[in-house]
Amino acid sequence: MKYSLLVFHLFLTLSFSIKSSAQNGESDFKQVCAACHTIGKGRLVGPDLVGVTERRSEDWLLKFIKSSQSLVKSGDKTADSLFKAFNSVIMPDQAMDDAKIKDILAYITNQSGGSSTTTAVATENTETTTEVVPVEPGRWEVGQDLFVGKVRFDNGGPACNSCHNVSINGYISGGALAKDLTQSVSRLTGDGAKAFFAGTSLPMPQMQKSYAGRALTDQEVNDILAFLTYADEQAKTNPSDSIVGTRMLVGGILGVVALLALFTFIWIRRKKQTVNYSIFERQIHSN
């Protein structure tokens, strides 16, 4: 009888511990992971994570989540194949301790609920589609103005081109601090690109800081995505990979020509003799 009570007590304790871990992991998953991953709802920027704790060992998952690129560079074939299958989009390193990561994994396990992992495995191994998905009711013209800062975001977030660039004809290029977004819709798919900057669970640490408490509205997300979709289509129909470089080269040449012309003008108008010589000449002629 005592043995049965002890087993029952241990079972309740273990069940409570797992449930508690899953609850703790839920908020972290939504804050850190949900921008790029779903659990059973298909791929976004990264793979669907349903059943991932069954397919991968805990030790491997801990290493991959902390630094996926370290695992890729170490020669791990699974990490390398995932990296290539998802358009070589780098998963940001996560500065979380093992306990937090295990809570997230417990949440993923809890949400997976024993579902078949066939769909998720197939998703991981499926090549990324480059089909551009039209976005409605987004307006690309409004999205462009939001991107460059001509129109402020409702919640005061910084303009996208302070860090990102889009290279299309007739468009002023942006910053070079982060990834070029010209063909981001092809790289990430429409849903992936939308999830990348929608909501509050932004994937990049710098984005999290920049947009903390200043998340984009749903309408702004749709407008930005419409602009990126337009830029993607333009890049395919009118390749412009070298537009920025060409403009910089032409601008540099014109700048050099202008400087040479200015220096030549100054040189021609320079004084050919000293002021003292002119005074001396006047004195000679006056005598």
Q: Where are the domains of the chain?
A: 2-125, 140-237, 248-286
Would you call 78 exposed, middle or buried from its count of C-beta atoms within 10 A (0-12, 13-18, 19+)?
middle
Pick the closest to residue 91 from 196, 248, 222 (CA basis).
196
Q: Tell which wins on pLDDT, 222 or 208.
A: 222
**Segment among 46-55, 106-115, 157-166, 193-202 with least mean pLDDT:** 193-202
Q: What confidence tier does 38 reach under pLDDT thresholds 50, 70, 90?
A: confident
Please say whether the beta carbons of 166 and 181 come within 8 A.
Answer: yes
N-terminal to C-terminal alpha carbon distance within the chain? 137
Query: Which residues neighbour 228 within 8 Å (Cβ) at sequence distance 6 or greater?
Result: 143, 166, 181, 184, 185, 193
Domain 2-125 and domain 140-237, same fold? Reply is yes
Q: What confidence tier does 7 reach under pLDDT thresholds 50, 70, 90?
A: very low
Please say whether the beta carbons of 82 and 55 come within 8 A.
Answer: no
Is a pLDDT exceeding 50 seen at residue 238?
Answer: yes
Q: Does domain 2-125 have CATH number 1.10.760.10?
A: yes
Averaged pLDDT, 84-110: 85
> How far is 247 from 181, CA to CA, in rounded Å?
18
pTM greater than 0.75 (yes/no): no
Considering only the top CATH level, what class is 140-237?
mainly alpha
Q: Tell which wins on pLDDT, 269 or 183.
A: 183
Averaged pLDDT, 3-30: 58
pLDDT digits (tens, 9 = 90+) for 132-183: 444 456 888 898 899 888 889 988 888 888 888 888 766 666 767 777 888 8
pLDDT digits (tens, 9 = 90+) for 45-57: 788 888 888 888 9
For position 126, what pLDDT does the model report? 45
Pick the closest to residue 121 from 90, 82, 89, 80 (CA basis).
82
For position 212, what pLDDT does the model report? 79
